Amino acid sequence: MNQSAYAAAGVDIEAGDRAVELMKASVSRTRRPEVLGGLGGFAGFFDASALKGYTHPVLATSTDGVGTKVAIAQALDRHDTIGFDLVGMLVDDLVVCGAEPLFVTDYIACGRVVPERIAAIVSGIADACVAAGCSLVGGETAEHPGLLGPEEYDVAGATTGVVERDAILGADRVEVGDVVLAMASSGLHSNGYSLVRHVLLEQAGWQLDRHVDELGCTLGEELLTPTRVYALDVLALIREVECHAFSHITGGGLANNLARVIPAGRKARLERDSWNPPAIFRLVQQVGRVSQADIEATLNMGVGMVAILPETGLDAAVALLGSRGIDAWVLGRIETHDGPGVAELV
């Protein structure tokens, strides 16, 4: 059979079609009742009449990618976990304002479509959507021969959620005396991997299959640990406890992200001795001889999400999060401050 001109240029349409067939079962697991139609159309549909129950619904949206963590997945040939990194980066940016994530769309760019690999990526995205309570309503897989190597790919996506206007959380609600409550991360999550890879793989020359006693596993297993998805936990906390603000701790580290929800005239004073960062953070700092300031401005240091709430709700918040499998502790408090809002580790 003669090869088509498009296939000769490196684009395999049949492989793309097979990838779609393989991912259908995964996508169907995420289906909320508001989703209309099935996979394969030009657009995904979500029935907006579901928003009639809101008094003043406000849509929230977020877009992000997995970043250079995909290089770890590619090196280990393990592709079913990074979906949690993508969805976590998306929905947990929404939920900090009190929004419920409704649906996600994804975009996978690759040098060559390997149907089983694409299906594994989408399976992870679907599992994470289920964990976040939202639907995967569509996406795109694009083959880019000549731009990406045959085994290379990148993953990005977008999400939309909804929140009542008068229930939007943020800096305007934060008060002096509020407690800053930390929620443990599952590890590095999906930020700072350029630094981590430079320090451990390039400078130190470590291999991903190296067993690291301090970690209790191989380096590759640690680096590929999926991002914790907090969306349903945060929404449960909002329903049960008065909350004023949340901060998703991603690129830029703990203090920089928390400062985004601290109003002028306020300071979040954070106590370094309130927790011990997990071993991977100490390892990167020690092996790379990274300064305390640099490591804290790059990695989450074991804190993936932060809540700001009145002290009266502290015990209930810690108990609720504990019942959902999340370690939480008092990280600090909100104090008065002259000037713009800041967060400081002391």
Q: How far is it, in rounded angstroms, from Cα 346 to Cα 332? A: 10
Selected residue with higher pLDDT from 21 and 207: 207
Same domain, residue pair 20 and 157: yes
Identify the domain boundary among 99, 133, 167.
167
- Percent of the chain at pLDDT exceeding 90: 84
Same domain, residue pair 298 and 335: yes
For residue 266, what pLDDT is reported?
96
* Residue showing tokens 């394969």: 40
Q: How far is it, in rounded angstroms, from Cα 2 to Cα 186? A: 50
**Average of per-residue pLDDT across 191-202:** 96
For residue 1, what pLDDT is reported?
44
**Average of per-residue pLDDT across 16-21:** 70
For residue 28, what pLDDT is reported?
74
DSSP letter (8 states) at residue 226: P
For residue 16, what pLDDT is reported?
63
**Average of per-residue pLDDT across 13-19:** 68
- Percent of the chain at pLDDT exceeding 70: 92
Identify the domain boundary among 167, 202, 229.
167
**Average of per-residue pLDDT across 299-313:** 97
Range of the domain at 288: 171-345
Give residue 220's pLDDT band: very low, low, confident or very high (50, 70, 90).
Answer: very high
Task: Extract the tokens encoding 114.
Answer: 């390997």
Same domain, residue pair 42 and 190: no
Selected residue with higher pLDDT from 201 and 9: 201
Same domain, residue pair 271 and 246: yes
Same domain, residue pair 151 and 189: no
Q: How far is it, in rounded angstroms, from Cα 197 to Cα 181? A: 30
Identify the domain boundary among 134, 167, 200.
167
**Average of per-residue pLDDT across 48-71:** 95
Say whether pLDDT at 341 is over 50: yes
- Identify the weakest region by mean pLDDT among 19-23, 68-72, 127-131: 19-23
Neighbours of 289 (CB within 10 A): 9
pLDDT digit string (tens) for 110-169? 999 998 999 999 999 999 999 999 999 988 999 999 999 999 999 999 999 999 999 999
Same domain, residue pair 218 and 340: yes
Tell me the H-state helices in 181-241: 193-196, 219-223, 231-240
For residue 47, what pLDDT is reported?
87
| CATH number for position 199 | 3.90.650.10
Same domain, residue pair 140 and 57: yes
Say whether pLDDT at 37 is over 80: no
Say whether pLDDT at 270 is over 90: yes
- Identify the weakest region by mean pLDDT among 47-51, 202-206, 211-215: 47-51
Same domain, residue pair 98 and 182: no
Selected residue with higher pLDDT from 12 and 170: 170
Same domain, residue pair 71 and 102: yes
Overall domain count for the chain: 2
* Residues forming beta bridges with residue 154, ordered by sequence position: 109
Same domain, residue pair 109 and 202: no
- Identify the weakest region by mean pLDDT among 12-16, 35-39, 244-248: 12-16
* Residue showing tokens 């830029």: 252
For residue 50, what pLDDT is reported?
87
Those residues with Cβ within 8 angstroms of residue 247's Cβ, 6 or more apart along the chain or in another chain: 96, 257, 258, 260, 261, 305, 306, 308
Task: Extract the tokens encoding 167.
Answer: 């229930």
For residue 4, what pLDDT is reported?
58
Selected residue with higher pLDDT from 2 and 280: 280
| CATH number for position 120 | 3.30.1330.10
The answer to whether 234 touches 320, Cβ cutoff 8 Å, is no
Same domain, residue pair 138 and 36: yes
For the whole model, what pTM was predicted? 0.92
Backbone region of residue 97 per phi and psi (left: phi > 0; alpha: psi in -120 to 50; beta: other values): alpha
Same domain, residue pair 107 and 253: no
Say whether pLDDT at 176 is over 70: yes
Give residue 40's pLDDT band: very low, low, confident or very high (50, 70, 90).
Answer: low
The whole-chain average pLDDT of the chain stands at: 92
**Average of per-residue pLDDT across 269-294:** 96
